[in-house]
């Protein structure tokens, strides 16, 4: 039996509101830091270690404080956004609905960051694949019908048994971090991690899947976030936040897996 999302659920951001000015005391700083780190990583990939490279690259252009932030994919290193997805249950397994409002959804235009969420609903009643599918459909209906978003807000969802489900097609921007959905893949773990801990199967899938996505899109560890690191939110809950801090640092499971190529 599925549990409908709580009325005070607040884990996502409206579609087509993502290009507005950043809010909060750290918004401008974090945007500059994010764009800056992305540019540095991109330039490194372009130039490598060659001492003979003579290409003169343009300096960074900071986004206007009140304008949109547009991070375009690097032409020399195509971003395989439309490629096959690894180890993911296709969307067709839980809904027959496509994008609810095709005219109200932004293209992703390349992936440069990943953000981790929870759904803030205890997962104790999810005992089967069918239970997870029902919860997904419940969320999709809430996001489309009540919140008037184009589709379910997240790109991928990990259920308590570690299955990874496809949500919103990654060709489109999600609706999961207010004002920060550009180039940002949203990964949600089912559960309320202020009340419970993620299951060992969820943790294993989280590390493997995020590691695969980092490799696939060339996303550095410095651009793997939790929701509360990008906006005002308690998401992804205290226990998952603790785990994310641990797994990303040197010697952590995600860091080790990426460094050794185990998740490639």
Contact stretch for Zn ion (CB under 5 A) within 15-23, 41-49, 113-121, 129-137: 113-121
Report which residue's Cβ sits closest to Zn ion.
235
Closer to Zn ion by Cβ: residue 79 or 225:
225
**What is the spatial distance between Cα 119 and Cα 11, in angstroms, rounded to a whole number?**
7
Residues in the interface with Zn ion (CB under 5 A) total 4
Contact stretch for Zn ion (CB under 5 A) within 31-39, 40-48, 70-78, 227-235: 227-235
Within 7-36, the residues that bind Zn ion by CB under 5 A are 11
Report in angstroms how near the CB of residue 236 gets to Zn ion at its nearest.
6
Element (H, E) at 250: none
Report in angstroms how near the CB of residue 172 gets to Zn ion at its nearest.
18
Position among 189, 210, 221, 235 found at the interface with Zn ion (CB under 5 A): 235
The pair of three-digit structure tokens given for residue 73, joined into one six-digit string = 């994919």
By CB under 5 A, residue 116 contacts Zn ion? no
Closer to Zn ion by Cβ: residue 74 or 243:
243
190 with 117: CB under 8 angstroms? no
Closer to Zn ion by Cβ: residue 117 or 223:
117
- If you search the block for the tokens 């990654």, which residue do you land on? 170
Contact stretch for Zn ion (CB under 5 A) within 100-108, 164-172, 225-233, 237-245: 225-233
DSSP state of 264: -
Contact stretch for Zn ion (CB under 5 A) within 111-119, 123-131, 193-201, 254-262: 111-119
Residues facing residue 239 across a β-bridge: none
**How many CA atoms, within 13 angstroms, populate the side-chain half-sphere of residue 234?**
12
150 with 100: CB under 8 angstroms? yes
214 with 256: CB under 8 angstroms? no
Position among 140, 143, 178, 227 found at the interface with Zn ion (CB under 5 A): 227
**Residues in Cβ contact with 51 at an 8 Å cutoff, skipping those fewer than 6 apart:** none
133 with 93: CB under 8 angstroms? yes
**What is the spatial distance between Cα 34 and Cα 21, in angstroms, rounded to a whole number?**
15
Position among 117, 163, 168, 216 found at the interface with Zn ion (CB under 5 A): 117
Report in angstroms how near the CB of residue 192 gets to Zn ion at its nearest.
12
User: What is the contact surface with Zn ion in residues (CB under 5 A)?
Assistant: 11, 117, 227, 235
């Amino acid at each position: 039996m599925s549990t409908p999302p709580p009325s005070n659920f607040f884990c996502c951001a409206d579609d087509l509101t993502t290009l507005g000015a950043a809010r909060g005391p750290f918004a401008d700083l974090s945007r500059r830091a994010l764009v800056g780190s992305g540019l540095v990583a991109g330039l490194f990939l372009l130039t490598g270690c060659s001492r003979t490279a003579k290409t003169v690259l343009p300096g960074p252009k900071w986004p206007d404080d009140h304008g949109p932030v547009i991070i375009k994919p690097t032409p020399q290193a195509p971003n395989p956004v439309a490629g096959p997805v690894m180890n993911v249950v296709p969307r067709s397994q839980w809904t027959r609905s496509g994008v609810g409002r095709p005219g109200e959804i932004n293209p992703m235009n390349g992936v440069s960051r990943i953000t981790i969420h929870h759904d803030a609903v205890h997962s104790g009643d999810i005992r089967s694949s069918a239970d997870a599918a029902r919860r997904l459909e419940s969320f999709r209906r809430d996001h489309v019908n009540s919140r008037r978003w184009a589709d379910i807000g997240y790109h991928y969802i990990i259920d308590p048994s570690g299955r990874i489900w496809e949500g919103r097609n990654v060709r489109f921007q999600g609706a999961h971090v207010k004002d920060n959905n550009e180039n940002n893949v949203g990964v949600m773990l089912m559960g309320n991690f202020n009340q419970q801990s993620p299951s060992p199967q969820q943790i294993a899938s989280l590390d493997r899947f995020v590691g695969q996505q980092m490799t696939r899109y060339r996303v550095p560890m410095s651009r793997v976030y939790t929701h509360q690191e990008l906006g005002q939110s308690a998401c992804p809950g205290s226990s998952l936040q603790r785990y994310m801090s641990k797994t990303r640092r040197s010697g952590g499971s995600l860091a080790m897996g990426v460094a050794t190529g185990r998740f490639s």
